[in-house]
Amino acid sequence: MTGNRFRWLVFLLPAIGLFYIPIAAQNVSSVEHVYLTLASPQSARAMRVHYQTHQGSLQSTIHFDQISRGGVPDQYRWTLMAQGESISSYPYSIHSLTVTGLTPDTTYYFIVGDPDNGYSREYKFRTLPEDGSEIRVIQGGDMNISEHYSDIARPLLTMRPQLYLVGGDIAYANGWLSNGWRWKRWFERLKTIIEDPDGYMIPMVVAVGNHEVSSSGGDPLDRAPYYFRFFPQEGLQPYFVRELGLHTALFVLDSGHVVGHGGDQTEWLGNELQKYEKWPSKIALYHVPLYPSHRSFNTFLSKEGRKYWLPLFDQFRLTLGMENHDHTVKRTFPLRNGSKVEKDGTIFIGDGCWGQGVRSARQEWYLETSESKRHAWFLKLSETGIQGTAFGENAQILDEFTITH
C-alpha cells in the first residue's frame, strides 16, 4: 500500500506543474501606509507615491501599468526605483517615488516594495482630468490622531472625492522626532479613508501648520522633519501651486511656520497669481486664518497674512481662501479691501476642526456663519464656479455656499 501511494505522488507532482500560473510575490510584505500626493503643478500628469516599510529596507520600487496585473511584479509595463530613508525615533523606512509622464484622466495600477522584503497588494489611482471637468475635493485641517477625522470623512467617500486638501496641524507631533508614534497612529487612521468605494486611492495636498514645526532653529528639515519627509511636495519649499483641471489654480501657502508670510513667499505668490490671473477659480490653502473665528482679529500671524497676502488676493481676485487653526466651522461674507462686497469678493472658509476638539466661535462683522463644530468641507470645483458643503459628524450638513462665475 505504501509503495502505491508513493507512485501516485510521483505521478501527480508533474501534473500539478502543468497548471502553474504567475502569482504575486510569495514572501510576506513589509509594506505599510501607502498614500499619494500631487507631484507637480501639472497635477494631471504626475503622481508621487509614498509608502513605508518596517524591515529597514531602503530600496524603493514601484511597478505600474494601465492594466491590472494582479500584483505580479514582472507583469507590469513600467518600473521605477529610488532610495528611501530612515529617521530616528520612527519605526519605518520612508519611501517616495515620483511618477511622471502620466496621461490625464486615466487609471493606473501599481504595487510598491522590493523583491527581498515583499510587495504591497495592487492599488489603483486615476489621474485628474486636464480639461473643464468637475473635480471633487474634501478639505479640512486640524485633524489629530483620534477616530474623529476618519469618521467625518468616511460618509463623504460615497461622493467619490478625487483629492484631499489638508490645511495643516495633522498629527500634532510638533516637529519632535520623539513624536513619531503620533504619525504612526495618524497613518493607521488614514488607511481607512484613503480609497473610495470603487477602490481608487485619493491623493492629498498638504499645507504646513504650526503643529508640524518645532520652535527650535535650524533648516526646514530640522524644524519640520516629518512634514518634509512624508509630504515632499515641492522639496523643502512649503509653498507651491497645483493645477486642478484647467479651471482652478490652487496656491498652497505657509502661514509663518517654516518661512514668513513676506519676502520670497510673497514675491512668489504675486508672480503665480499673475500667471493664473485668467483662470476661472483661484483658491488658496493655508493654516492660520486671515479672518479668524475664535482667536482675536489682531493675533500676529493673522495680521501678517492680511499685511502681505491680502493685497494680492484682492488684486488678482482670489475666489476662495481655505483657512484652519481656530477649530470651528466658519464662512465669511465676500470680502475685498477689508469690507463686505456684493460681487467679486473672496470668501474665506474654515477653520480647521476636522478631528481636533472644538473651540468657542466668535461672531464678527466679516463672518456670515460661525459655529463650534467638527467638520470637513466637500467642494465641487468646475468651470462655472464652486459649490461647497460643510459636513459635520454623522454627515450632518452644517453650511452650504455657491460661487458662480
Domain 135-404 fold: Purple Acid Phosphatase; chain A, domain 2 (3.60.21)
Topology alike, domains 31-126 and 135-404: no
Q: Which band of pLDDT confidence, cut at 50, 70 and 90, is reported for residue 238? A: very high
Comparing CA positions, the residue from 17, 16, 24, 31 lying closest to residue 93 is 31
Render pLDDT for 60-80 as a digit per residue (tens, 0 to 9). Answer: 999 999 999 999 999 999 999
Nearest to 309 by CA among 257, 254, 364: 254
Does 127 have pLDDT greater than 90?
yes
Distance CA 275, CA 269 (A): 10
Start-to-end C-alpha separation, the chain = 86
CB 281, CB 249: distance < 8 Å: yes
C-alpha cell at 184: 504612526
pLDDT tens for each residue of 16-64:
343 334 444 445 689 999 999 999 999 999 999 999 998 677 999 999 9
Strand partners, 49: 36, 97
pLDDT in tens, 358-369: 999 999 999 999
pTM: predicted TM-score of the whole model, two decimal places: 0.93
Say how far apart CA 386 and CA 380 lie, in whole Å.
Answer: 6
User: Class assignment of domain 31-126?
Assistant: mainly beta
Domain residue extents for the chain: 31-126, 135-404
Nearest of 294, 291, 354, 353 to residue 318 by alpha carbon: 291
